[in-house]
Chains A and B, each alone.
Chain A
Amino acid sequence: MYRAKFSDHLILILGSLFLCMPVVVAFMTSTHTAADIHSNGLSLAWGDNFIATYEKVLTQKGGFTGDITGARMVMNSLILGIGFAVGKIVLSMMAAYAIVYFRFPMATLSFWVIFTTLLLPLEVRIMPSYQVMSDLGLLNTYTGLIVPLLASATGTFYFRQFFKSVPEELLEAARIDGAGPFKFFIDILVPISRTMIAAIFIIMFVYGWNQYLWPMMMTTDESFFTLMRGIKSILQVWVGSNIPDYNEAFALAVLAMLPPVAIVVIFQSWFIKGLTESDK
Chain B
Amino acid sequence: MAAIDISSVGKIYTGGVRAVSDINLDIKDGEFIVLVGPSGCGKSTLLRMVAGLEAISEGTVKIGDRVVNEVEPADRDIAMVFQNYALYPHMTVRQNLEYGLKNRKTPRAEIDARVNEAARMLEITQYLDRKPRALSGGQRQRVAMGRAIVRKPAAFLFDEPLSNLDAKLRVSMRGEIKRLQRRLGTTSIYVTHDQLEAMTLADRLVVLSGGQIEQVGSPLDVYHTPASTFVASFIGSPAMNLMKAELQGDKLAIGPSLISLNGYAPTSGAVTVGLRAEDLRVVSGDEGMPFTVEYVEELGSQRLAHGVVGDQAVTIALSGEAEITDGMRITIDPSKLHFFDAETGKRLDARAPAKAVAAVAEPVG
Interface membership of B64, Cβ < 8 A: no
Q: Is residue A169 contacting chain B, with contact meaning CB distance below 8 A?
A: yes
Q: A188 CA to B89 CA in the complex, in Å?
A: 9
Q: Which residues on the A side are within 8 Å of B324 (C-beta)?
A: none
Of the listed residues B75, B90, B104, the one surrounded by the most CB atoms of chain A closer than 10 A to its CB is B90
A279 touches B90 (CB 8 A): yes
- Listed stretches A56-64, A112-120, A174-182, A197-205; interface member: A174-182
CB atoms of B88 and A170 under 8 A apart = yes
8 Å CB interface, A27-51 against B: none
Given the contacts A183-B103, A277-B133, A278-B133, A173 and B86 also touching, CB distance less than 8 Å? yes
Question: Which B66-101 residues have a C-beta within 8 angstroms of A?
Answer: 72-75, 78-80, 82-84, 86-91, 99-100
Min distance, Cβ A107 to any Cβ of chain B, angstroms: 15
- On whether the beta carbons of A173 and B90 are closer than 8 Å, the reply is no
Indicate if the CB atoms of B103 and A173 lie closer than 8 Å.
Answer: no
Q: Is B51 an interface residue (CB 8 A)?
A: yes
Enumerate chain A residues within 8 angstroms of B196, measured Cβ to Cβ.
none
Q: Is the interface of A mostly helix, strand, loop or mixed?
A: helix
- B53 at interface, CB cutoff 8 A: yes
Interface range on chain B: under 10, 10 to 19, 20 to 34, or 35 or more? 20 to 34
Q: What total count of A-B pairs have CB within 8 Å?
A: 66
A188 to B91 Cα, complex, angstroms: 9
| A194, B72: Cα distance in complex, Å | 29
- Neighbouring B residues of A183 by C-beta, 8 Å: 103
Given contacts A192-B90, A277-B133, contact A177 B82 (CB under 8 A): no
Residue contact B133 to A169, C-beta cutoff 8 Å: no
Cross-chain contact A177 with B103 (CB below 8 angstroms): yes
A178 to B82, Cβ gap below 8 A? no
Q: When chains A and B are docked, how far (Å) is the Cα of A176 from the Cα of B54? A: 12
Assuming the contacts A167-B86, A192-B90, asked whether A172 and B80 have C-beta atoms less than 8 A apart, the reply is yes
Contact A172/B133 with A177-B99, A187-B99 known, Cβ cut-off 8 Å: no
Whole-angstrom distance between the Cβ of A261 and the nearest chain B Cβ: 28
Q: Does A9 contact B (CB under 8 A)?
A: no
Contacts of B88 in A (CB 8 A): 170, 173-174, 187-188, 192
Which residues of A does B touch, CB under 8 Å?
Answer: 167, 169-170, 172-179, 183, 187-188, 191-192, 194, 277-280
